[in-house]
Amino acid sequence: MDFVTTNYIWAITAFMSGAGLIFLTIRQKVSGPRLSPAQATQLINREDAQVIDVRDQAEWSKGHINGARHIPAGEIPKRLGELEKFRQRPLIVVCASGQRSASACSALRKAGFEKVFALDGGIGAWEQAGLPLTKK
């Protein structure tokens, strides 16, 4: 106990580090598998994956992945019927940074979609990889 009181900064740092790791592990379990932009491109090309962009309208208008379907994250439960025809195909869920896609992936899994992936790093990672966006 003397060590902890003498080195409280190290103890707090260790606690925060452990809490962060636990949080990331839980988030990974909830959102499911994450794909890099390169892996997402392969899945799109090889297995005809459908991209679901869950960003809001203003973000979507600035640019999105070609062929993506726009369904804001909050509307996923109400608009599941639109995705029914993609049930057998892999779904890649995209947001701005990879945070909102986790809840959308969870909602899709609860609705019975099995092949659901989140784009790790979101549209930002897609752009950093030099991959194209469209405004059409």
Over the chain (136 residues), the average pLDDT of each successive run of 10 is 79 87 71 87 96 96 95 93 93 90 89 92 94 91
Which residue is it, tokens 């469209």?
134
Nearest to 55 by CA among 67, 40, 69, 43: 69
pLDDT of residue 30: 60
Task: Please tell me which residue in 49, 95, 105, 107 is annotated as part of the active site.
Answer: 95
Confirm whether 95 is a catalytic residue.
yes
Nearest to 92 by CA among 111, 73, 120, 72: 120
Q: What are phi and psi of 15, to 5 degrees?
A: -60, -45
Which residue is it, tokens 């993609």?
86
Q: What is the pTM of this model?
A: 0.79
